[in-house]
Amino acid sequence: MLPVAVDAMGGDHAPAEIVAGAQLAADAGIPVVLVGRADDIGATDLDLIEASEVIAMSADPTKSVRTMKDSSLVRCAEAVRDGRASGMVSAGNTGAALAAATLRMRRIKGVARPAIATPLPKPSGGLPNVLIDAGANIECTPELLALFARMGAVYTRARFGTAQPRVGLLSNGEESSKGTATVKEAWTLLDQAPWQVATSASFVGNVEGTDLLSDDVDVIVTDGFTGNVALKTLEGAARGIIAALLTAFDADDDARKGAELLLPALAPLYDRMNPDTVGGAALVGVNGICMISHGSSSAKAIFHAVKTAHELAESGLVPELTAALA
């Protein structure tokens, strides 16, 4: 079984947390190979692909990928392209990961632009909904949104086993008359039967911001600008509410005692909402598996991303996408 290539140099806590996460995966029986500078990584039993350069978090994505040919990110993408890895994981520069994967693995036939598919963890505990595009393509045509719908449906089946993904189009109201001109045209494209039949998906019409965590939809299609804003709004809201709860839990002796009694009931909720356990976002539409993790990823987050990359490779996501988009 091919290993998952892990960019040991990318992320706010690289290489220590990344290597620790890769080790957790190896301990769980998932084959991994680190990619990066041996000197920085230090002592490890894990396999290593040496890469002498590191693309900084703030570097210009396309330029750095084109010029830093021995960077850990580029070497990760090449390992997947060359059949030496089943997929890659990076918590580094998101734009550079996107560029490296697109330039080295190439796009699947029929994919005008790859997109980022991000799972949205639900406080209710149901399967996460998938938001696509969560930030790769800032300006989108209706045709691109229709492509994201097809890719999102296939991805959601491979990732979560959803037999018939329900696909919604993010807009400012449920009626088909709502939205920008682009969204309204996308609605018309998505309302056609053939793509729904080809991907075993169903189009449920427009959905709103209140539906991001809804159990009535599986895939939420939007452009990368709106998707990024919505995703970060969810993150900020969850963080703000949790911070306020923790303050309340420590308000006085009664509150502290109450919080202690509640802990067993609250722990699973906290775990569900913890982005570390979700497994990160996937770049969908390239000829290979590429997981894009949060810059702040912990070892636990990297472990889940590696596990997801491994499972996606086993699930046959790329051949399924290739068939569905042919």
Closer to a second copy at the Cβ: 86 or 214? 214
CB count in 10 Å sphere of residue 57: 16
Of 69-77, 151-159, 170-178, 198-206, which part binds a second copy (CB under 8 A)? 170-178
Minimal distance, residue 296 CB to a second copy, in Å: 12
Minimal distance, residue 96 CB to a second copy, in Å: 14
Nearest one of 247, 254, 308, 251 to 283, comparing CA atoms? 308
d(CA 294, CA 116): 13
Among 116, 212, 289, 324, binds a second copy (CB under 8 A): 212
d(CA 154, CA 58): 32
Strands 219-221 and 289-292, by their bridges, are unpaired
Q: Are 115 and 222 in contact (CB under 8 A)?
A: no
Closer to a second copy at the Cβ: 40 or 174? 174
Per CB under 8 A, 168 contacts a second copy = no
Among 234, 290, 312, 321, binds a second copy (CB under 8 A): 234
d(CA 317, CA 326): 14
Minimal distance, residue 131 CB to a second copy, in Å: 11
Among 226, 293, 298, 308, binds a second copy (CB under 8 A): 226
Among 28, 109, 143, 240, binds a second copy (CB under 8 A): 240
Alpha-carbon distances of 113 from 101, 138, 239, 308, rounded to whole Å: 12, 11, 32, 22
Per CB under 8 A, 257 contacts a second copy = yes
| Rg, Å, the chain Cα set | 20
Residues in touch with a second copy (CB under 8 A): 122-125, 135, 138-139, 170-173, 179-181, 183, 208-214, 222, 224-226, 228-241, 243-245, 248-249, 251-252, 254-255, 257-266, 268-269, 273
